[in-house]
Structure 1
Amino acid sequence: MTPSTTFAGRTLALFGLGGSGLATALSLQAGGARVVACDDNPERMAAAEAEGVATADLRGADWAEFAALLLAPGVPFTHPEPHWTVKRAASAGVPVIGDIELFCRERATTAPDAPFVAITGTNGKSTTTALIAHVLRETGHDVQMGGNIGTAILSLAPPAPGRVHVIEMSSFQIDLTPTLKPSVGVLLNITPDHLDRHGDMANYAGIKERLIASSDHAVIGVDDDYTRAIAARHAGPLTRVHVGETAPGPGILARHGVLIDGCTEPPSPVADLTGIPSLRGSHNWQNAGIAYAVARALGVAPDAFAQALRSFPGLPHRMEEVGRRGSVLFINDSKATNADSTEKALAAFPRVHWILGGKPKEGGIASLAPYFPRIAHAYLIGAASDAFAATLEGHAPVSRCGTLEAAVAQAAEDAAHEPEAVVLLSPACASYDQFRSFEDRGDQFRAMVRALPGLVPTGG
């Protein structure tokens, strides 16, 4: 745990007692603050009380006594309208902050030179965060990893000289961190997302840019219009990362799966990613290029970086290699809950037996039309089946399987008759029509695949 000492002796309101909210309350109390916590869920209130956290209905509180409101990142801050606690805080002149802001204040007070890497972007944040942490650990660093990727930042060990915090940050978290100032700030990409929470793309992109603008050293993937514009505006130290044939100036280039350091003269190859299953696809080449730029900024030698890459296991449900049966490869990409994410998976293979469907997102899969020629067969599950069948009509053979179990069985049978076939679960949909979460969907897919006769597991 990181005790939050910068509010010692003061009283704070806290709303949202999920994992990060409870960790925040305990961190503040450990640092000498008094916390009055609230949540709409009575079970979370009871769990907090069992941990010794004082709870109350903040509607009846005297807001003049609060030094700040700690807001969970999932609670609306500005759009579609501010949460009632945010309105009460504004009326009382109480600042609204989040748990990463507490970490930043603690770092500035106790260990201002402690390395702090903050990663944001629309897609690829978790894989890139895990990859950076893996490389740094493999090259001898003391690493703490968390934030939006899973472990609440205040549950990690505190900032200290030589200890690197590698933290994934959502736009919600950036919004609640006014003193954010990472040693290395990373921006992967920007595509439309969470517009219900930010109003429009200009606001969304502006929040992402704040992380970069406050960084001592910025690392930006420059493969979309928004990030290219942000890189062009950036005045401080900057490393650009690009996937393509030629680099748009000095920076890191991923060309056909080979990372090239263009910050040296002459440019030098660093690592060949094509033989690393956990980094399959051009989107993962960008992730690896970003990781190299960060590692380079922190003093990791190119050969040590290349060696560390080879043992990266990847993350569950993100282009996860589950196993092989004969020449058929099974891939779990359950985290692909929209068409933009699924595009990365389809682009990674020349021909696929594609399992997709679930609770559809706006726009469906029409944007994936350029990849329809790669589909050997589509196996539809869940609520999106009729809509997706209509989109795919005339472009690929389609089976309405209904359930994931039926889709796995039919895809495995069909793929067995093709050389070097790929069975890909990349649903392009939310999971909630049939599963508790995308993790539950991916776990069930993995279990079904590994139950197939003759399956040889190849993943973690």
Structure 2
Amino acid sequence: MIPITEFKGRDVAVFGLARTGLAAARALVAGGARVHAWDDSDATRAQAEAAGVPVSDINSRDWRTFAALVLSPGVPLTFPEPHRVVTLADATGVPIVSDIELFARAVNALPATQRPKLIGVTGTNGKSTTSALIAHILKEAGKDVRLGGNIGEAILDLQPLHAGAYYVIELSSYQLDITSSLRLDVAVWLNTTPDHLDRHGDMAAYVAAKQRIFLNQGAADWAIIGVDDHYCAKVCTELTRAAAQHVAPISSGQALGRGVCALDGKIIDALGGRAEVVADLAQAPALAGKHNAQNAAAAYAATSVFNIDPRVIAQAMTTFPGLPHRLERAGTIEGVRFVNDSKATNANAAAQALAVYPRVYWIAGGVAKDGGIEDLEPFYPRIAKAYLIGQSAGDFSDTLRGKVPVTMAGHLEAALKLAFNDARSSGEPHPVVLLSPACASFDQFKSYEDRGDQFKKFVAALAEAPPVRNGGAA
């Protein structure tokens, strides 16, 4: 845990008691603050109390006594309208902060000689893989590494701050929206496509939230930014022109005169102006696909600025195990490969998975994002059949009609069995059953992790007792 002493002896409200809220409450208590924690969910409050967090109804308190409101990132800040606790804080002049902001202030309070290295990663897609890959490379290079934020442990649950440590922090747009003091030694912005517009309102606000990752950087710091979409490319040009920090463009689709790119499965380092092949992704099984090539280029750039030997970085990529629920190999039964890509919660993420495999039996559906799956049309020829589940099944079926064979499976277990039967009967040499839903999970599952875990459980059950060959109804 990282104790937060800034509010010692003062009253602090914490709203939202999921992973980050609980960690913030514990860190504030450890630092001597009087914490008043609350959540609108009775069950969540009960879990917090059971964990020893001081719960009290902040709605009935005098807000003028609060030194700050620590707001969980999922609570609406401005759009579609501020949550009532945000309105209360604004009306009483109570500063609103995130757990990341508390962490940033704790780091900033340290003498320069005791400051750890901070690497932050954001992007619409790929930030979890890139964060984990950066942490893996640094560990393989012998560094003292902690990974957290929007991935794994909450930032304030990580080990205490000290010089020589490297903190790799995955940052969502929600977290960046309410963080102002974070100064990153290396800030990575991978890509931007439309997402979370229900939270930010429009693309301009979403891009502005992402761009906050570069706040407070100085001449010694590095901004690493993808240039394969026009949103990030524009910001890269602006940062390069401003020259406030070092800027390293990255790409998985174009050669760069300066920066790091991934072309034809090779990582090419041109940070010093002279292009040199430094890694072969064909040797890195967990980094298949163009999207992972971009992730690898970003991780190479982010770690090489710490003067890590390129050979160490390249070798670490070959041993990277990948992430659960992101192109995770879930097993092989009778020659049929099962791939768990449950983390693909939007069409753009699903496109990255569909691009990896030439032919798939595709399980999709859930709570659709704006735009549905229309943008996936270039990948329809790769889909042998789609098995649709969840709330979006009807809309997805309408989109695919006449273009892709469809089975309305309803639920994941049924979809898996139907896809398996069709795949193993296809006569194809290595058919793939791919769960890449292009949707959020909350209609049928607790989370995308729960959805992926259920998929793996059903695959394991199939391995023990494969179903009778009977095909699926089209």
**Alignment TM-score, normalising by the size of structure 1:** 0.93
Distance change (3 Å), C-alpha of 1:66 and 1:386: closer
Deviation for aligned residue 1:47: 4.0
Alignment-mate amino acid for residue 99 of structure 2: D
Question: What does residue range 195-206 of structure 1 map to in structure 2 within 5 Å?
Answer: 195-206=197-208
Q: Residues of 2 paired with 1:13 and 1:245: CA distance?
A: 48
Aligned with residue 272 of structure 1, among 256, 259, 280: 280
Residue 164 of structure 1 is matched in structure 2 by 166
Aligned with residue 122 of structure 1, among 124, 148, 155: 124
Structure 2 unaligned segments of length 5 or more: list them: 466-474
Aligned with residue 137 of structure 1, among 111, 136, 139: 139
Question: What does residue range 204-243 of structure 1 map to in structure 2 within 5 Å?
Answer: 204-215=206-217, 216-234=221-239, 235=243, 236-243=245-252
Q: Residues of 1 paired with 2:308 and 2:291: CA distance?
A: 23
Residue 393 of structure 2 is matched in structure 1 by 385
Alignment-mate amino acid for residue 263 of structure 1: L
Q: Residues of 1 paired with 2:10 and 2:72: CA distance?
A: 19
Residue 384 of structure 2 is matched in structure 1 by 376
Deviates further, 70-79 or 383-392: 383-392
Aligned with residue 173 of structure 1, among 166, 172, 175: 175
1:154-184 per-position Cα deviation (integer Å, ceiling 9, x unaligned):
1111221110111111111112211111111
Q: Residues of 2 paired with 1:361 and 1:300: CA distance?
A: 40
Q: Residues of 2 paired with 1:188 and 1:69: CA distance?
A: 30
Partner SS state of residue 27, structure 1: helix
Deviation for aligned residue 1:111: 5.2
Structure 1 unaligned segments of length 5 or more: list them: 456-460
Q: Residues of 2 paired with 1:50 and 1:153: CA distance?
A: 21
Deviation for aligned residue 1:110: 2.3
Residue 22 of structure 1 is matched in structure 2 by 22
Deviates further, 161-170 or 110-119: 110-119
Deviation for aligned residue 1:128: 1.0
**Mapped contact 1:111–1:159 kept (Cα < 8 A):** no
**Structure 2 residue 253 is the aligned partner of structure 1 residue 244:** yes
Q: Residues of 2 paired with 1:276 and 1:81: CA distance?
A: 45
Partner SS state of residue 451, structure 1: helix
Deviates further, 270-279 or 357-366: 357-366
Residue 368 of structure 2 is matched in structure 1 by 360
Partner SS state of residue 189, structure 1: coil
**Mapped contact 1:278–1:321 kept (Cα < 8 A):** no
Q: Residues of 1 paired with 2:348 and 2:289: CA distance?
A: 14
Deviation for aligned residue 1:339: 1.3
Distance change (3 Å), C-alpha of 1:32 and 1:140: same
Distance change (3 Å), C-alpha of 1:95 and 1:334: same
Deviation for aligned residue 1:454: 8.5
Residue 37 of structure 1 is matched in structure 2 by 37
1:352-384 per-position Cα deviation (integer Å, ceiling 9, x unaligned):
121222333332222111111112222223333
Residue 469 of structure 2 is matched in structure 1 by none
Residue 108 of structure 1 is matched in structure 2 by 108
Q: Residues of 2 paired with 1:425 and 1:196: CA distance?
A: 25
Alignment-mate amino acid for residue 240 of structure 1: P
Residue 291 of structure 2 is matched in structure 1 by 283
Partner SS state of residue 277, structure 2: strand
Residue 3 of structure 1 is matched in structure 2 by 3
Q: Residues of 2 paired with 1:46 and 1:396: CA distance?
A: 47
**Mapped contact 2:182–2:215 kept (Cα < 8 A):** no
**Alignment TM-score, normalising by the size of structure 2:** 0.91
RMSD of equivalent CA atoms: 1.9
**Mapped contact 1:159–1:165 kept (Cα < 8 A):** no
Alignment-mate amino acid for residue 288 of structure 1: A
**Mapped contact 1:12–1:36 kept (Cα < 8 A):** yes
Q: Residues of 1 paired with 2:430 and 2:42: CA distance?
A: 53
Partner SS state of residue 321, structure 1: strand
Alignment-mate amino acid for residue 78 of structure 1: T
Residue 152 of structure 1 is matched in structure 2 by 154
Partner SS state of residue 319, structure 2: coil
